[in-house]
Chain A
């Protein structure tokens, strides 16, 4: 036995005796997760395997998530799930720490688009990974197979005069300007150049003239689609709306537009205050296994990062949501467009 190992062997039980609270606390992993991300049976397996306790706190809004993490300077939780757009402010506030990718062995079993973290916006900073993808949803187009024979290939279908008065779009400034950016071929859906604004506004006015109406809730969209015989629906809520429509008896298809479907991506991140970062990493690695990831899809209808969903093609482009250049500007302009302002007035001060 070397002297060093001898010292450690002596020191560890000593510390354990002196600081029982610290040692005991490390036996618990504190998880902050969305509904369906950490079901009790999933948690139990992890606890048995690691002989540690897992405390799961559920949140259901981005705001509450931010409060819980930022309030205690990220000391109250070890690991949490957050979408890539939201993740940016946690990185900026230094509430999360880089993850040692070598400890997440199951990354090798993820789909290629999730393995290449550099291709995912906002995950890597200064060459270090801050989040591991876990689940996602893409905003595709739902179309009535009886009215539209060929699946629409482009987001431009929303503007197609053939479907005038038969299009249902979503009532959101942020997302609609992203769609408009894709329609006019802007460089990024999330950051409009100054010269692009008037064109984008015109595009949204044109969209306004082509739609039947703009919806807010998934149920509302399904009801309108069925009762007003709509042909095309921008599915902001993704496959959830597809399920609702199929349940209502609609003969509908789902397609991701060629420009790249807007998509949100939820990742696991480790907090600055994590007491046992290796345990937090082990939790993330465990959730990427076929069992827990499979349950996400079979039990909760959420896409996982291991298996390609039926409705998506392997080559489908996904435009992962990113923070936009100005939520306020998009919202203000959108409210004017929605209210029926004419182009000349929309951009007025």
Chain B
């Protein structure tokens, strides 16, 4: 199959369109994918910072609760001397606070005396709150939340290291990650008589603080050294308690800057080891508790599966792909129309050129276009007109030449060649139709003297007149020809017999004999006419001509004698 310019152009236009759409789509996709990941990272960092602020707020709220309790007169009174009334009063307060704060494991009033004996203690035990008293109260003086908190000024908060609570008999808190907040209870002289301690459930408080985070977010918390305290895989937490440290910067190498204090936040992507199959983006921030503590810094982190982030990008990719596909499909007809618009005038022009010689239907040329095609069309049109003119001239000349070749220039009668053709045709027809025809051979008598005496011009006029008179006699279907100087022949078709031919010959002879006026001279000529008949005298033109000629001579002889 021949591929036309329209197809090629259409193909190229369509390809260019598809490529442009494809590249645009691809770059749009990659750029927006990067933007999405960046914005997910930013969002993650913001979420982490919001969570961090909430943690600090929760800590401040804890401090406010501690202050309320530490400054309550019943606290100092209960420490001053064993007074069941004041202790009960305090226990009610503790109870209320425990009810309001589901993440509190315990609230205790601990004395500075008696080895740090607990005085009032409420424990959470499953879903109930339990008041611990009598000899179940324990001595806690050797725990930092007592001996370090006792050294604080009034209203200052102590925060313990975050650790697994191994204190036996602590009910719900036993074996759980916990952190202790404590505040001294001062007597009027400013001497710490005891401490109020709130034992906070680490997982519980984080579950509360992080409850409105997205489901797919994973929460991480580490201590200053990077040991995991909260991790999606709880077996990796508090590794230092089990003799095997598990560190955040081993899982997320970029967080080393946080652990070493070189950065306040780190946003990273983890793709190795445990994240090899499920890469995550993660944001970590360093949090300073801003209270007296050995846990001078914790690192808080949120991670989100990269897959979730990329799901949005994939949706975007699908839309982009659809747009690209639609553009490509739309581009094909547009390319076809465009290609046709350009090639149709060219096709018209080429059709016009092809049909230059035809006078029939020719396509309309876009002559009135003002562009290059219009110029081309006008040039082609001019060329076409010129060529047509020349062809017409050639045809006319050819007709004239043909006429000249087959006619006598003087009389306009067919010449011998044409006459012979006609006789042949007529003979064939007569043979086929079983009709008859006659050939008359006419020779003018005494013509030479006219020529000699009156000049050739006069002779010519005579010959013309003779021709006109012969034509005046014969039927249209008959043919008269001049075959020599003063010799004419006539073909009579469809005659019935020799009499018909004789009658016509008679009439011709009489017509020729009519006098002619030539420049004041009366001229008269006569003619000798020989007749040959088909089929009687011959069956072909040569024989018939010969017989007619012979007959004419016999007539001429007879006339002389």
Instruction: Judge whether A341 and B147 touch: CB under 8 Å.
Output: no
Instruction: Judge whether A342 and B143 touch: CB under 8 Å.
Output: no
Please encode chain B, from 94 to 124, with 1 for each CB lying within 8 Å of some chain A CB and 0 for all others. 0000000000000000000001101000000
Closest B residue by C-beta to A345: B135
Contact of B142 among A211, A336, A341, A342 (CB under 8 A): A211
Assess whether A165 is interfacial by the CB under 8 Å rule: yes
Q: Which of B135, B138, B166, B168 has the most CB of A within 10 A?
A: B168
Instruction: Judge whether A335 and B142 touch: CB under 8 Å.
Output: no
Assess whether A340 is interfacial by the CB under 8 Å rule: yes
Q: How far is the CB of A230 from chain B (nearest CB, A)?
A: 11
Within 136-168 of B, Cβ neighbours of A (below 8 Å) are at: 136-144, 147, 166-168
Q: How far is the CB of B313 from chain A (nearest CB, A)?
A: 47
Q: Which residues of A contact B136 (CB under 8 A)?
A: 345
Instruction: Judge whether A213 and B138 touch: CB under 8 Å.
Output: no
Closest A residue by C-beta to B140: A340
> CA separation between A339 and B175, bound complex, in Å?
13
Q: Which residues of B contact A344 (CB under 8 A)?
A: 135
Q: How far is the CB of B523 from chain A (nearest CB, A)?
A: 157
Q: Which residues of B contact A213 (CB under 8 A)?
A: 142-144, 147
Q: Which residues of A contact B135 (CB under 8 A)?
A: 342, 344-345
Instruction: Judge whether B144 and A340 touch: CB under 8 Å.
Output: no
Contact of B138 among A209, A212, A228, A342 (CB under 8 A): A342
Q: How far is the CB of A32 from chain B (nearest CB, A)?
A: 20
Within 156-205 of B, Cβ neighbours of A (below 8 Å) are at: 166-170
> CA separation between A135 and B136, bound complex, in Å?
46
Q: How far is the CB of A210 from chain B (nearest CB, A)?
A: 9
Q: Which residues of A contact B138 (CB under 8 A)?
A: 339-342
Q: How far is the CB of A307 from chain B (nearest CB, A)?
A: 32
With A339-B169, A344-B135, A345-B135 in contact, do A209 and B115 touch (Cβ < 8 Å)?
yes
Q: Which residues of B contact A338 (CB under 8 A)?
A: 142, 166-168
Within 162-209 of A, Cβ neighbours of B (below 8 Å) are at: 165, 208-209
> CA separation between A335 and B147, bound complex, in Å?
20
A-side interface size class: 10 to 19
Instruction: Judge whether A336 and B168 touch: CB under 8 Å.
Output: yes
Q: Which residues of A contact B116 (CB under 8 A)?
A: 340
Instruction: Judge whether B143 and A209 touch: CB under 8 Å.
Output: no
Closest B residue by C-beta to A340: B138
Instruction: Judge whether B147 and A208 touch: CB under 8 Å.
Output: no
With A342-B135, A345-B135 in contact, do A212 and B169 touch (Cβ < 8 Å)?
no
Within 69-105 of A, Cβ neighbours of B (below 8 Å) are at: none
Q: Which of B118, B138, B141 has the most CB of A within 10 A?
A: B141
Instruction: Judge whether B168 and A341 touch: CB under 8 Å.
Output: yes
With A340-B116, A342-B138, A345-B135 in contact, do A212 and B168 touch (Cβ < 8 Å)?
no
Contact of A335 among B118, B139, B168 (CB under 8 A): B168
> CA separation between A339 and B170, bound complex, in Å?
9
Q: Which residues of A contact B142 (CB under 8 A)?
A: 208-209, 211-214, 338, 340
Q: Which residues of B contact A228 (CB under 8 A)?
A: 147
Please encode chain A, from 205 to 231, with 1 for each CB lying within 8 Å of some chain B CB and 0 for all others. 000110111100000000000001000
Instruction: Judge whether B169 and A341 touch: CB under 8 Å.
Output: yes
Q: How far is the CB of B136 from chain A (nearest CB, A)?
A: 7
Tell me the B residues contacting A by CB distance below 8 Å. 115-116, 118, 135-144, 147, 166-170
Please list 15 pairs of residues, one from A and one from B, whose beta carbons are closer than 8 Å in the complex, sorted by A's number: A165-B147, A208-B115, A208-B139, A208-B141, A209-B142, A338-B167, A339-B170, A340-B115, A340-B116, A340-B118, A340-B143, A340-B167, A342-B135, A345-B135, A345-B136
